[in-house]
Amino acid sequence: MNSFGFEIQKDNTIEYDKNDLSLAAFVLKHEPSLYNCIQCGSCSGSCPASAISSYQFRKMQLLMRRGEIKNLREDVAHCLLCGKCILVCPRGVNTRNVIRQIRIALNMN
C-alpha cells in the first residue's frame, strides 16, 4: 500500500465511568490550584524537558484528569523540577506541587 504520510488514528473514547479518577481527585485535593488550569500549554511551551522528550505537563495533567493514567508514571519521571512552568503559568497553578503530589500518589518518592 502506498504511504501517503498520514495514518488512521485510533478511536479515542474517554471512558469516564471506567477510568480511575481517584488519582486526579487526590492531586486536586492536595493542590487545588490545578482547578485553575486553562490548558493554555504555556508550561509545556517553556519546559526544557518537553523540548527534548515526549513529556508535556499540559497533556499529562489532562490525561490524568480523564483517568487515563497508564503512562503517567513514565511521564512524570521526566520532569526536571526546574520550575519554569510555575513562572509562566498565567493562572498561578503550582505545577511543581502537582508533580510532587502525583509522585506521592504513585509511590515514586
Partner 1 sequence: MKFNLFVLPFTIGLVVLFCILIAKYVRWFLNLNPEQRDSVKKNFLTIKTLSGLKEILLESLLHRNISKKNRLLGYMHMSLAFGWFLLIIVGHFESYSYFKTAMEPPYIPIFLRYFQQDALADPLQVVYWFVMDFLLLFVLSGVALAWYKRQNQKRFGMRKTTRHLPADRVALSVLWLIFPLRLLAESITSALYGGGSFLTSGLGSLLENNIATNLSFVASWWAYSISLGLFFICLPFSRYMHIPTEVILIMLRNWGATKYSGKIDGITQFEVHSCSSCGICLDSCQLMELGHSNIQSPYLFRNFRANRLTDQEVQNCLMCGRCETACVVGIKTNSARQAIRHNSSAEVNHDYLRHVDTSFNSSPDVLYFAGCMTHLTPGIKKSMQTIFKAAKINYALADEDRNICCGRPMMLSGLADQAAAMVNKNKELFEKSGARTLVTSCPICYKVFREEYNLDIEVIHHTQYIDRLMKEGKLDLVKSEEHVAYHDPCELGRSSGIYDEPRNIINSLANLNETPANRELALCCGGSIANIILTSHEKKELALSALEKIVPQNTETLVTACPLCKKTFVSTGKSLKIIDIAELVAENLTVGQTSRKFGKFQKVESASI
User: Which residues of this chain interact with partner 1, rule CB under 8 A?
Assistant: 33, 46, 48-49, 51-53, 55, 73-74, 77-84, 86-89, 92-94, 96-97, 100, 103, 108-109
Closest distance to partner 1 from the beta carbon of 62 (Å): 20
- As separate numbers, helices (DSSP H) first and strands (DSSP E) second, the chain gives 7, 0
**Nearest to partner 1 of 25, 82 (CB atom):** 82
CB of 34 to partner 1, least distance (A): 12
CB closer to partner 1 out of 21 and 45: 45
Backbone φ and ψ of 70, nearest 5°: -60, -45
Closest CB 8 distance from partner 1, rounded Å: 28
H-assigned helices in 1-109: 22-30, 42-46, 48-52, 57-66, 72-76, 84-88, 95-105
